[in-house]
Amino acid sequence: MRIIVFVALLLTTAPAPGLADEGSVSGHAVVVDGQTLKVAGRIVRLADILAPPLELECHTKRGKPYACGRLASKALADLIRGQTVTCQFKDTAKPPTATCMIGPVAVNEQLLLTGRAVAGPSANSNYRRAQRGAQVLNEGLWKGRFPPPETWRR
């Protein structure tokens, strides 16, 4: 009988699967859009970056339109495919913003390095440096023209 009580107590006090603690979530992730993931069933927005919305159209330097929002989403999907993603929440917003990692790789920063997102207004110096690198190398969005991020609707 004591064993049954112990097991019942253990099961009722164990954390929910995927939740390392209330400040983070870890597990399989699915892309919602270029800056939003669903990790272990929880919606999370990547903090301090702005990725073009799915429907946004950008232009090459020659003026040819392309689906930059879809490319940002695909870049994120390619990055997380088959990986365990761990996100550390930065706030309690709905949905929360978070810094997400795949092992030692910072997902938020990787999107900046590849030019698939831009640094948000509160981005740290590492994020700004990553964005500058993408600009210099004409990566992603920086290969052409795109509407100012403040006009992107979510």
pLDDT at residue 120, rounded to an integer: 95
The matching CATH number, chosen from 2.60.120.680, 2.40.50.90, 3.30.2270.10, 2.160.10.10, for 17-151 is 2.40.50.90
Pairing relationship of beta strands 42-46 and 97-102 according to DSSP bridges:
parallel
The pLDDT tens digits of the residues spanning 99-129 come to 999 999 999 999 999 999 999 999 999 999 9
Average pLDDT, the chain: 88
pLDDT at residue 154, rounded to an integer: 58
Which of 35, 61, 39 lies closest to 47 in space, CA to CA? 35
The pLDDT tens digits of the residues spanning 125-137 come to 999 999 999 999 9
pLDDT at residue 2, rounded to an integer: 44
pLDDT at residue 10, rounded to an integer: 36
Two tokens at 29? 């992730």
This model's pTM is above 0.95: no
Give dist(CA 119, CA 100) in Å, integer: 15
Region of residue 41 (phi > 0: left; psi between -120 and 50: alpha; otherwise: beta): left
Give pLDDT < 50 ranges for the chain.
1-20
pLDDT at residue 8, rounded to an integer: 37
